[in-house]
Amino acid sequence: MARVGVFVCHCGLNIASTVDIEKVVAYARGLPDVVVAEHNLYSCSEEGLSSIRKSIEKNKLDRVVVAACTPRTHEPLFRKTCELAGVNKYLFEFVNIREHCAWIHIKEPLSATDKAEKLIAMGVAKARLLEPQKETESSVIPTAVVIGGGLTGLTAAASLAAQGIDTHLIEREEKLGGVLGDVEVISPEFSKSGDLIGQLVKELKGSRHAKVHLGAKVVAVSGFIGNFEVTVEGKGKQEKIPAGAIILATGAQEFMPKGEYGFKEMPEVVTQLELERRLASGNVPRRAVFIQCVGSRQPGREYCSRICCNASLKNALRIVRTRPDSRVSIIHRDIMSYGTASERLYREASDRGVVFLRYGLERIPKVVRKKDGVVVEVYDETIDEMVDLDTDLVVLATPMVSREDARDLGKLLKVPLDKYGFFLEAHVKLRPVEFATDGVFIAGSARWPSSVTECMGQGLAAAAKASIPIRRGKVVVEAITASADPDRCAACGNCVIACPYEAIEIVEEHGKRYAKVNETKCKGCGTCVAACPNDAMQQRGFTSQQLSSMIDALIKSTEEET
Amino acid sequence: MAEFSPTILAFCCNWCSYAGADLAGVSRLQMPPNIHIIRVMCSASVKPEYVLKAISGGVDGVLVLGCHIGDCHYMTGNHRTAKRMPLVQKVLKEVGIDEKRLRLDWVSASEGEKFQKVVTDFVDEVKQLGPNPMRGVKW
Ligand SMILES: Cc1cc2nc3c(=O)[nH]c(=O)nc-3n(C[C@H](O)[C@H](O)[C@H](O)COP(=O)(O)OP(=O)(O)OC[C@H]3O[C@@H](n4cnc5c(N)ncnc54)[C@H](O)[C@@H]3O)c2cc1C
Ligand code: FES
């Protein structure tokens, strides 16, 4: 008989504010073979893990069920805890009561609690039938692919190449640098982007480990960690690149206003990026008004784009530093000059006479054409009065938005995006540069609008993460492969046809013909299992017995309820 | 009488639809609490027997969710799901169970909102169908 332990996580208030944890734990105690049920404030914390470990040892558990968040991010952590406590990691079962329960039934605590109980009953039912497994290893192609040749992609690729890892950088434009191609000076240090990009490009060009593909598009991606194949198309030809890991660094783009504030109608109204181009060519306006948060922090696009306040401060300073006769105002909703260096820029701007005015969404500023130029009419909250600002240039600080084709790329790589179209990492704190899909990494503004320093940090982090499987040369393959029971198998060959990997053949051993699965070719999809008419084919960790027991548990717990 | 609250079983493939369900959660998209997910690696591994077992045991509806055609993590796995599930529906109809109690749909890893919509629609539909006539039948 199995000895099952159930550990229910509060996840702070994330789960506990909706699901009645105590009740669920009490319910779990009554499930078959459950010898102990406990709860933890944060099961994944150091403290939570060590208490689970102690409980496994103390209660001599041989099956462990954690009811918490999603196996897609946290399974490895709990499996490791099992191993440390001497329990094979395949004797662990994850029940998702956060993403699939607490978070989506916030207003129905009673039903959510019932549902959590049922999910746990199903998890325990499967856990009782789990079997220990041994893992195999597969080799890793020692090559990395970086998609996107902006600052982030360049940083990642240069780092990988410097480590001696063959790296392909795929950029769809004809030049490298991304957004920074139009941004000459970088705040807060006022360093030159040309120097930064130039240095990285030089490193790549000089490395025998780096290959840059310009004007190239990723059209297909197949495979798994260690064994991807990235198909790149460009200049009329197609190339298939085998790779062990993939880094996504496709950045973001500037939001183009849709006629707000007279954009497109009045030549005096430009975006921040246009101002960057003008300043770079020495075209410095005397009078300028910056309007912040144009198209962001409002219904439909609620987020703060994080870099626009600093960009406006930088450009306001570039104007007032070069032209003592200048008059610059920044109309904002809150100045987000995060970081000490940027705060210093804000101080300097104030000292040099840049005027800061605050507006609210209920009374947004107006740009009006007058005979001798344009006027920005703004209601100043502080003095409770309308203020007219005559100006030569109106700069709209618009947010960075996701690339138009980000969703297509997400589909190719099978990675998720958030509702604004930015790529979604596996976990914002625990796995910030990884996707939940192993072997695919994310960095830079493709993930969220990020400053130059942040993009470089993330680029390096992603490169470091991607180099781990490549350096090891091996990845552990999950023990979820299929195999047929020779005694049940009738050698009908249905599975042979069904397998997408040609991993199965009919063999004859000891006078018996049966379907034999090639372990290294099997990817663990389970297609053959459903094709088998005799229930002879089983997938490890997903046997028909295990899944049927989950269905039975659902039926039983529903019956008990009514 | 309290409103009929169906019990629904869902099979989600690890790579797309389960991730889509996770995304719905992360995005706090609210939906009816009737759905209970079993994670499988690919929608193609869902045996017809599971569906029949669930329905004959009184589960009011079964949802099978995979990656969009062309996106299956195992290349062509979901092509099989797409062929198999309509057959299972036929069998259900044959034995006098409304085939709408089984639904097949595709949800990608980035479609949290689609997951919410599919679940909400399906729960509504099963509510319309009423309790599974097999509920409480002793074999
Ligand atoms: C106006 C403005 C001013 C700024 N000023 C500052 C500043 O002063 N200080 C600061 O710290 N930060 C600043 N930033 C932010 C910073 O410049 C960016 O966040 C950073 O450069 C982003 O780098 P990235 O490599 O992540 O993305 P990007 O620069 O966007 O690069 C992505 C690259 O990927 C390519 N690509 C996209 N899709 C594909 C695809 N499917 N296949 C192949 N290639 C693809 C693109 O062509 C591009 O070259 C500013 C941003 C803006 C818009
Ligand atoms: S992996 Fe999603 S349907 Fe095959």
A183 CB near ligand 1 (under 6 Å): yes
Task: Supply the mean pLDDT for chain A.
Answer: 95
Tokens of A222: 């197949």
Residues of A in contact with B59 (CB under 8 A): 551, 554-555, 558
Does A177 share its domain with A269? no
CA A128 from chain center: how many Å?
Answer: 34
A139-148, A206-215, A365-374, B69-78, range with the lowest pLDDT: B69-78
Does A40 share its domain with A8? yes
Rounded distance between C-alpha atoms, residue B84 and residue A118, angstroms = 28
Rounded distance between C-alpha atoms, residue B129 and residue B92, angstroms = 14
The domain boundary residue, chosen from A475, A500, A529? A475
Query: A412: exposed, middle or buried (C-beta count within 10 Å: 0-12, 13-18, 19+)?
Result: middle
CATH of the domain at A84: 3.40.50
Threshold 0.80, pTM exceeds: no
Q: Is residue A452 in some structural domain?
A: yes
- Yes or no, beta carbons of B110 and A480 under 8 Å apart: no
Determine how many CB atoms are found less than 10 A away from the CB of residue A259: 10
Residue of A214, A417, A395, A418 lying closest to A309 (CA atoms): A395
> What mean pLDDT comes out for the span A456-480?
95
Rounded distance between C-alpha atoms, residue B31 and residue A105, angstroms = 6
Q: Which ligand is nearest to the Cα of residue A399, counting in written order?
A: 1
Mind listing the pLDDT tens digit for each residue in A487-530?
999 999 999 999 988 899 999 998 899 999 988 788 899 999 99
Angle of helix A151-162 relative to helix A193-205, nearest 10 degrees, comes to: 40
A188-200: buried (b, 16+ CB within 10 Å) or exposed (e) per residue? Answer: beeeebeebbeeb
Mind listing the pLDDT tens digit for each residue in A420-451?
999 989 888 878 999 878 899 999 999 999 99
Q: Is residue A502 in some structural domain?
A: yes
Q: Is residue A547 in some structural domain?
A: no
Q: Kind and range of the H or E element at A331?
A: strand A327-332
Q: Is residue A408 in some structural domain?
A: yes
Task: Supply the mean pLDDT for chain B.
Answer: 94
Does A423 share its domain with A486? no
Does A363 share its domain with A279? yes
A59-68, A376-385, B7-16, B122-131, range with the lowest pLDDT: A376-385
Residues of A in contact with B80 (CB under 8 A): 498, 527, 530-531
Q: How confident is the model at residue A476 (pLDDT cuts 50, 70, 90)?
A: confident
Rounded distance between C-alpha atoms, residue B36 and residue B63, angstroms = 10
Tokens of A393: 């240039």
- Yes or no, beta carbons of B41 and A480 under 8 Å apart: yes
Q: Residue B44 is nearest to which of A410, A419, A525, comparing CB atoms?
A: A525
Does A346 share its domain with A468? no
Does A148 share its domain with A111? no
Phi and psi, residue A154, nearest 5°: -60, -45
Does A120 share its domain with A208? no
CATH of the domain at A518: 3.30.70.3270
Cα(B113) to centroid of ligand 2, in Å? Answer: 19
Does A116 share its domain with A198? no
Determine how many CB atoms are found less than 10 A away from the CB of residue A493: 14
Q: How confident is the model at residue B139 (pLDDT cuts 50, 70, 90)?
A: low
Q: Is residue A138 in some structural domain?
A: no
Domain that holds residue A432: 143-253+402-475
- Number of structural domains chain A divides into: 4
Rounded distance between C-alpha atoms, residue B6 and residue B92, angstroms = 18
What residues pair up with B12 in beta bridges, in sequence order?
B39, B65
Q: Give just the sign of the alpha carbon dihedral A58, A59, A64, A67.
A: negative
Cα(A154) to centroid of ligand 1, in Å? Answer: 11
Mind listing the pLDDT tens digit for each residue in A311-320?
999 999 999 9
Q: How confident is the model at residue B70 (pLDDT cuts 50, 70, 90)?
A: confident
Are A11 and A68 a contacting pair, CB within 8 Å?
yes
CA B95 from chain center: how many Å?
Answer: 20
Q: How confident is the model at residue A560 (pLDDT cuts 50, 70, 90)?
A: confident
CA A451 from chain center: how many Å?
Answer: 17
Does A274 share its domain with A368? yes
Q: Is residue A35 in some structural domain?
A: yes
- In chain B, where the domains are located: 14-39+49-129
Residue of A510, A520, A511, A513 lying closest to A484 (CA atoms): A513
Cα(A338) to centroid of ligand 1, in Å? Answer: 19
Mind listing the pLDDT tens digit for each residue in A53-86?
999 999 999 999 999 999 999 999 999 999 999 9
Does A125 share its domain with A206? no
Does A392 share its domain with A302? yes
Three-state SS at A338: coil
Look at residue B1 and tell me whether its pLDDT is greater than 70: no
Query: A470: exposed, middle or buried (C-beta count within 10 Å: 0-12, 13-18, 19+)?
Result: buried
- Yes or no, beta carbons of B41 and A524 under 8 Å apart: yes
A156 CB near ligand 1 (under 6 Å): no
Does A177 share its domain with A231? yes
DSSP state of A307: S
Pairing status of strand A504-509 against strand A512-517: antiparallel
Rounded distance between C-alpha atoms, residue B106 and residue B20, angstroms = 10
A324 versus A163: which is more confidently predicted? Answer: A163
User: Which residues are near ligand 2 (CB < 6 Å)?
Assistant: B 13, 15-16, 42-44, 66-67, 72-74, 77-78
> What mean pLDDT comes out for the span A103-124?
98
Whole-number percent of chain A with pLDDT over 70 = 100
**Peptide bond just before A188 cis, omega within 30 deg:** yes
Q: Kind and range of the H or E element at A389?
A: strand A385-391
Q: Is residue A554 in some structural domain?
A: no
Q: Is residue A45 in some structural domain?
A: yes
How confident is the model at residue B90, as a pLDDT?
Answer: 97
How confident is the model at residue A301, as a pLDDT?
Answer: 95
Mind listing the pLDDT tens digit for each residue in B24-41?
999 999 999 999 999 999
Rounded distance between C-alpha atoms, residue B103 and residue B46, angstroms = 13
Q: How confident is the model at residue A405 (pLDDT cuts 50, 70, 90)?
A: very high
Atom 30 (ligand 1) nearest CA: A251
Are A31 and A6 a contacting pair, CB within 8 Å?
yes
Residue A531 forms contact with B (CB below 8 Å): yes
CATH of the domain at A293: 3.50.50.60
How confident is the model at residue A330, as a pLDDT?
Answer: 98
Cα(A344) to centroid of ligand 1, in Å? Answer: 24
Rounded distance between C-alpha atoms, residue A96 and residue A406, angstroms = 28
Three-state SS at A113: helix
> What mean pLDDT comes out for the span A478-488?
94
Residue corresponding to tokens 């050698």: A491
Q: Which ligand is nearest to the Cα of residue B18, counting in written order?
A: 2
The domain boundary residue, chosen from A380, A398, A416? A398
Mind listing the pLDDT tens digit for each residue in A154-212?
999 999 999 999 999 999 999 999 999 999 999 999 999 999 999 999 999 999 999 99
